[in-house]
Amino acid sequence: MSELNVVSLSEAQLPAEPFRARHLINGEWQASADGATFERVSPSHGKVVTIAGKGGPRDVDAAVFAARKAFDKGGWSRTSGKERATLLLKIADLIDRERERIAFHETLESGKPISQAMAEIEGASDLWRFAASLARTMHGDSHNSLGSDMLGVVLKEPIGVVSMITPWNFPFLIVSQKLPFALAAGCTAVIKPSEMTPATTVILGELCMEAGVPAGVVNIVLGYGDPVGTAMTTDKRVDMVTFTGSTGVGKAIVSAASGTLKKVSLELGGKNPQVVFPDADLESAIDAIVFGVYFNAGECCNSGSRIIVHEDVAEDVIARTVDLSRQVPFGDPLDPSTKVGAIITADHQGKIEGYVRDAEQSGADIRLGGEALDVPGLSGQFYQPTVIANVQSNMAIAREEVFGPVLSVLTFKTLDEAIELVNDADYGLSAGVWSDNVHTCLEFARRARAGTVWTNTWMDGFPELPFGGMKESGQGRELGKYGLEEFLEVKTVTMRIGRTRAPWVS
Ligand code: NDP
């Protein structure tokens, strides 16, 4: 479509050889026990960019054994906060050193723009630094008012061996929302990245080894959800599972983990609304709407895919959103000017297409896009920026995660109606409000059922602020001090002072 801003074929070169990814088990890089491998084809260039070990139950068994042994021996779990913080800071520095290499492989495997990947890796090293600061502030409580002969102490201890299962949309950033916090707590880990994006987690493993993380503390098993993920969630030597991905798999993990009653922490999907009131700074709101829906090609749990606009300004907002959407550079993710890259797989592109056709048949009105995007010279899959108006809250496109560059627009008349629409969702990850009236923003923030509320902004995030969902968007929190708490167990120590205990049998 000529009226869109399409970036085709950058100068950047694809690597001559695919990246070779192996499992990291007990400090050693290993092929799969049965020698199996799989290939990842770049979603934007259609070339094999990674060949990775395809793990099975024997590889998971060896990794969990190593993590359990490392934890129980105490060589990491009983070190001081100072020692752990020092190591985490070293890893942060190594991430900065390798930023370009990590970003390049992230882009090749995920199809996300290289400029965005660079920013994500920078954000990730900051998460390692923040987690290092928490490692030195971890403490429990003391109870000094239980009576003159009693003292109570509440200890915080690392929970133990943690299975980490991560998705393909932000591979390096999401593992960095989990691993440094678990390590700061003193846990050991077995990590499985998505089979579509294994390379950068492997590079992170290399950096952990270079920094001096003891053998068995960080283990990586590559491969598919079944059998690798399932073995990681059912093994009784694992104490906790932390998962980011789809709500469907999250529910399967809760049920798999229930056999051994592990703690499960989940970061799942969202159908995140932004509500626009007529008194808002519409220029800023429209830019944030465009950013919110096209960022990472919409393949984002925080995608602002559901816009709820006051009917007095709805037509104006839709027209201006369409105009701005046409200006967003879609295309080759290796070109530094590109803002929206490829769709992760052809199957996923088909799923996006299915939602758009279903909305059309249900009476919604496609104002822009709604088709695959042809990027000259590239053989991967891309989707046009898409704006759909006249969406009703009972349509699948208003309720389910499309995970593509597709915006649904609904309208409202009153604040109560807007909040009803916001909360009429199975998800509760994030929500936003645009208004110059502080009372409107505060009332919205308090009544929206979402783990994060943005007022007059969208998707600003900080390591200091916790992130996570209500309802079917998840359980538990990452980041902030809560991100460390997730990996801690509470132990009560009750102490009697002196020989004051009255005998039970007299
Ligand atoms: P999944 O939720 O299927 O996968 C996420 C991770 O879980 C991957 O590493 C996957 O392995 C693993 N996994 C899959 N099945 C199991 C299982 N039974 N036990 C343990 N681990 C398992 O996401 P997809 O990648 O398939 O994406 C599908 C949809 O999920 C998307 O269209 C999107 O709607 C949503 N999604 C949401 C994300 C979010 O951040 N909220 C992130 C990614 C996806 P593998 O895929 O390697 O087999």
Average pLDDT, the chain: 97
Q: How far, in Å, from the CA of 202 to the mean position of ligand 1?
A: 19
Confidence of residue 9 (pLDDT cuts 50, 70, 90): confident
Residue 1 has pLDDT above 60, yes or no: no
Q: Tell me how far CA of residue 257 lies from CA of 33, 306, 333, 472, in angstroms.
A: 25, 33, 38, 17
pTM above 0.75, yes or no: yes
> Quick one: which atom of ligand 1 is closest to the CA of 247?
2
φ/ψ of 353, rounded to 5, equals -55, -40
Adjacent-strand bridge partners of 414: none
pLDDT at 506: 86
CA–centroid distance, 174 to ligand 1, in Å, is: 13
pLDDT band at 325 (very low <50, low <70, confident <90, very high): very high
Q: What pLDDT digit, counting tens, does each position of 205-223 carry?
A: 999 999 999 999 999 999 9
CA distance 86 to 104: 28
CA angle 103, 105, 111 (to 5 degrees): 90
pLDDT at site 232: 98
The band of 2, judged by pLDDT with boundaries at 50, 70 and 90, is very low
Rounded to an integer, the average pLDDT of 161-171 is: 98
CA of 245 relative to ligand 1 center, distance in Å? 4
Give yes or no: 187 in active site.
Answer: no
Contact 158, 77 (CB under 8 A): yes
Q: How confident is the model at residue 474 (pLDDT cuts 50, 70, 90)?
A: very high
Give mean pLDDT, residues 14-26: 96
**Token code pair at residue 229:** 């993920």
Q: pLDDT for 83-125, tens place per residue?
A: 999 999 999 999 999 999 999 999 999 999 999 999 999 999 9
Q: Is 39 a catalytic residue?
A: no
- Mutation pick for ligand 1 pocket among 38, 40, 163, 165 (CB with most ligand atoms within 8 Å): 165
DSSP 3-state of 455 = strand
Residue 177 one-letter amino acid: Q
Provide mean pLDDT across the span 2-30: 89
Is it the case that residue 444 has pLDDT exceeding 60?
yes
Q: Both ends of the chain: CA-CA distance in Å?
A: 91
Q: Give bridge partners of residue 432 from the DSSP assignment.
A: 274, 454
Which residues does a 6 A CB cutoff place in the pocket of ligand 1?
A: 165-169, 192, 194-195, 224-226, 229-230, 233, 244-246, 249, 252-253, 268-269, 301, 348, 401, 403
User: Is residue 354 very low, low, confident or very high in pLDDT (cuts 50, 70, 90)?
Assistant: very high
Q: Taking a C-beta distance cutoff of 8 angstroms, is the pair 40, 197 a contact? A: yes
Residue nearest to atom 13 of ligand 1 (CA): 225
Q: Report cis status (omega within 30 of 0) of the bond before 376.
A: no
pLDDT of residue 8: 84
Structure tokens that stand for 207 in this block: 């950096």
Q: How far is the CA of 59 from the centre of ligand 1 (A)?
A: 20
Rounded distance between C-alpha atoms, residue 399 and residue 426, angstroms? 8
Residues in CB range of 188: below 8 A, 6 or more apart? 67, 68, 70, 71, 76, 77, 160, 161, 162, 216, 217, 218, 219
- The answer on pLDDT for 11 being more than 80 is no
Q: How confident is the model at residue 3 (pLDDT cuts 50, 70, 90)?
A: confident
**Phi/psi at 270 (5° precision):** -155, 155
Query: In the prediction, which pLDDT does 142 show?
Result: 98
Residue 67 sits at φ, ψ, to 5 deg, of -65, -40
Residue 185 CA: distances (Å) to CA of 77, 266, 491: 8, 18, 14
Q: What is the pLDDT of residues 307-319, one digit of tens each?
A: 999 999 999 999 9
CATH of 14-268+473-491 given 2.40.128.20, 3.40.605.10, 3.40.50.620, 3.40.50.1220: 3.40.605.10
Cα–Cα distance between 269 and 400 in angstroms, integer? 9
Spatial distance between the Cα atoms of 266 and 467, rounded to a whole number of angstroms = 11
Percent over 70 (pLDDT), the chain: 99
CB of 272 within 8 A of CB of 306?
Answer: yes
Mean pLDDT, rounded, for 487-502: 97
For residues 202-207, average pLDDT:
98
Looking at 109, 301, 401, 441, which residue is catalytic? 301
Least Cα distance to 106 among 175, 53, 183 occurs for 175
CB 29 within 8 A of CB 210: no
The rounded Å distance from CA 492 to ligand 1 centre is 37
pLDDT average, residue stretch 44-52: 96
> How many angstroms separate the CA atoms of 257 and 39, rounded?
29
- Determine the pLDDT at residue 333: 97
Architecture per CATH, 273-455: 3-Layer(aba) Sandwich (3.40)
Catalytic-labelled residue, pool 109, 120, 267, 486: 267
207 C-beta neighbours (distance < 10 Å), count: 20
Ligand 1 pocket test target in 232, 243, 249, 355 with most atoms within 8 Å of CB? 249
- Where exactly are the structural domains of the chain? 14-268+473-491, 273-455
Cβ distance 497 to 197 under 8 Å?
A: no
Q: For residue range 358-387, list pLDDT tens digits in order.
A: 999 999 999 999 999 999 999 999 999 999
